[in-house]
Amino acid sequence: MELPGLVTVDPANEELAVRLAEMGGDAFLEELWTVELLSALPAGSRGADRERFLSRAIIMNDIVVGAPYQAVYCLEDASALAVAYLKSDLEGLTWAHLEEKADRILMEEVLSEEEAAALAVQLERMAPISVFDWEEREQKEGDFIHFVMLAVDATKRGTGRFRKLMTPFFDYADEHGIPCYLETYSDSLQALYEHVGFEVCHVFESPDFAITERAMVRKPQK
């Protein structure tokens, strides 16, 4: 997608990718899914610095695997980031295929052996609340936009950056008559997304975790 007002991140622009990964990774330290994942780190790896580094690495890997498919966007001042794809832009792949690649990079190139073993177990435990391909199962035909992650620079929140980031996607979706999908674990983010037209269509739970995954859809608006 070419979206007016947004920068489509070039895979070769490493400086911008690093800047966005740092901003997005810091924002995702507040994400309940990330908190649960990193809570399984070995004792020697716990701590703000290591957890921030790993959160940034997770976002960086999503940028690395997504950018070649026009799946990474930001505002012109890099104050807001969307990893989001148009299904048809993935050239027959699914995001699950790209996420597997991102996970391999994390496990093989970023984590220590002890960290990789601990997080692999935690990811398996979290599978019931990490359902990120539900829309692929339900909508086998037709296009859609899926927001993998959204982040706004903490110093710029409350300045309209979120709406400025999302509006071009919504304009595209409405023009082409396609739905938008995303997932959240936060009551406050659920309320924010509902404010811009999303509604909860599924809730994924596990007795092993207090958090729940809320799958949300925004239907095209005439």
pLDDT in tens, 182-195: 999 999 999 999 99
Question: Domains in the chain and their CATH numbers?
Answer: 7-218 (3.40.630.30)
Q: Which of 2-6, 37-41, 119-123, 134-138 shows the lowest per-residue confidence on average (mean pLDDT)?
A: 134-138
Q: Model pTM? A: 0.94
DSSP string, the chain: ---TTSEE--TT-HHHHHHHHHHHHHHHTT-HHHHHHHTTS-GGG-SHHHHHHHHHHHHHHHHHHHGGGT-EEE-TTS-EEEEEEEGGGGTT--HHHHHHHHHHHIIIIIS-HHHHHHHHHHHHHTGGG----HHHHH--SS--EEEEEEEE-GGGTTTTHHHHHHHHHHHHHHHHT--EEEEE--HHHHHHHHHTT-EEEEEE--TT-S--EEEEEE----
Tell me the pLDDT tens digit for each residue of 151-164: 999 998 889 999 99
Q: How confident is the model at residue 222 (pLDDT cuts 50, 70, 90)?
A: confident
Mean pLDDT for the stretch of residues 68-88: 97
Q: How confident is the model at residue 144 (pLDDT cuts 50, 70, 90)?
A: very high
- Residue 53 clears pLDDT 80, i.e. is over it: yes
pLDDT value at residue 140: 74
- Residue 8 clears pLDDT 90, i.e. is over it: yes
pLDDT value at residue 143: 95
